[in-house]
Structure 1
């Protein structure tokens, strides 16, 4: 997982291309990306009593939206990409879904108790997005962001992470920095175990929805995905049938200042 701002300025063009790469793969993203653990959502919503009205910002195909519905939260979604938003509407037709960005949210002031962001906060321009998020939050409202990451404390997962890297992968940072902004109280962070049921082919397809495999040339993409499949078929843990992919879901949250 990487916070925005920890990628160097020299990566700005690549960062933009990666951020805009998901729409054409919306169907695959919806099929293969994991959801989020309920425990992580409940922790994120603790400051507002676990319920109310929430904005799923940068909602993608609705992976977080579904968990929020299961938690009993009333959800509105904002997603800039037409293809991703259409997939969300197909999966969650009961959810109001609007075109918009974190820097320009199409909601009134003081309209939601919580703004939640699944796997998208690192794409935001934080200097513009954080005050805009604060604008739509009600007094005492909370912002929370989620990232699913492979649990690289497991040896085969750590090696998979290495095998999966492409020419568009960002260099991992040694230390993560929590965001800060005058519109919010201090950010907190927590981490939750999670898993996803996969086989060698479906896990390869999952990694094929990651932006670092979407923006590379077709020849390199084919080589990376073939390398991943060969690795998984060569490991005892993943060679045949289904298995549990160990994940860690990292969450940050902050309450808006009065």
Structure 2
């Protein structure tokens, strides 16, 4: 499972690097919107299962970025409120989804009233949250028995050429590989978290997959010289790999989802 720990067990250098990576996406907003994958419908349905029988479901897309999860939520027929701290990312979301309410804010300070939404979902964002501050805020804005869920799209490294791509993609800013044994988060305001995994894929070419990886924070915050070297290495690898050398191909992904229901009768 994707690493979801807080920064409490990290060195000062690691904490600072994490902060730089978390703030790195705005400059890549348009490229991010073009090249990052969406999320599978089955995963979204699973995340919202606990509130699926409600009328007029309202979902907060927290750390919404350019709206990669927003689009799937709209397709599911729910009302979406987006909260995103980066102005560049938020502007791209508004351009793509002008009918969605998009607010400046963060998981640690959500600009909504108590009991506003039925669900809070986070796509590729929960690992940036300060959980000690974010969980009470998420619980505060949820209605009774509302649900929180977080999504991650991860490369399917069980595929040999994808595992090879992971190796050539690493930069000096890459985090250590996360463990599949990483524990699920826990908080007294929420029932125990559940985990599910969904097969997913994205149609790519060697060039567009290289561009996708170029939106990852570990390739954004490094020097221009190292960035050019890393992206060049990726493109060379893809052009030399039979499965990806020519034309379009399906890039295999796994979408990991965790979900938990807000406990009843707990203070906001």
2:22 alignment partner, one of 19, 24, 28:
19
Shift of 1:7: 8.3
Q: Secondary structure at the match of 1:132?
A: helix
> How far off its partner does 1:172 sit?
1.3
Do the aligned residues in 2 keep the contact of 1:141 with 1:256 (CA within 8 Å)? yes
More off after superposition, 42-51 vs 126-135: 42-51
Structure 1 residues 8 and 236: alpha-carbon distance in aligned structure 2, compared to 1, 3 A threshold: farther
In the TM superposition, what are the counterparts of 1:52-91 in structure 2 within 5 Å?
A: 52-91=57-96
Please state how far the C-alpha of 1:49 moved relative to its aligned partner.
1.4
Stretches of structure 2 that go unaligned for 5 or more consecutive residues are: none
Deviation at 1:2, TM superposition (A): 1.8
The answer to whether residue 34 in structure 2 is matched with residue 28 in structure 1 is no
Deviations 1:11-38 (A, max 9, x none): 1000000000000110000000000000
How much does 1:113 deviate?
0.3
Q: Once structures 1 and 2 are overlaid, which stretch shifts more, 203-212 or 50-59?
A: 50-59
- Aligned twin of 1:130: 135
Q: In structure 2, how many angstroms separate the alpha carbons of the residues matched to 1:6 and 1:79? A: 21
* CA 1:44–1:189: 2 relative to 1, 3 Å: same
CA distance in 2, matches of 1:6, 1:190: 25
Match of 1:172? 177
CA apart distance, 1:8: 4.4
TM-score under structure 2 length normalisation: 0.95
Asked if 1 retains the 8 angstrom alpha-carbon contact of 2:58 and 2:79, the reply is yes
Alpha-carbon shift at residue 4 of structure 1 (Å): 2.8
Partner-residue secondary structure (3-state), 1:3: coil
**Which residue does 2:114 correspond to in 1?**
109
Following superposition, the deviation at residue 9 of structure 1 comes to 1.4
| Matched residues, number | 258
Is the Cα–Cα contact under 8 Å of residues 113 and 141 in structure 1 kept in the other structure?
Answer: yes
| 2:49 equivalent to 1:43 | no
Partner of 2:253: 247
Question: In the TM superposition, what is the alpha-carbon distance from 1:231 to its structure 2 partner?
Answer: 0.1
For residues 253 and 82 of structure 2, the distance between their equivalents in structure 1, rounded to whole angstroms, comes to 25
TM-score (normalizing by structure 1) = 0.98
**SS class of match (1:127):** helix
Answer whether contact 1:6 1:173 (CA < 8 A) is retained.
no
Q: Which portions of structure 1, spanning 4 or more consecutive aligned residues, are displaced by more than 2 angstroms? A: 4-8
Given candidates 150, 155, 165, the residue that maps to 1:145 is 150
Residue 5 of structure 1, CA deviation: 2.5
Distance change (3 Å), C-alpha of 1:7 and 1:128: closer
Give, in whole Å, the separation in 2 of the partners of 1:156 and 1:111. Answer: 45
Cα distance in structure 1, aligned partners of 2:225 and 2:146: 47
Shift of 1:6: 7.2
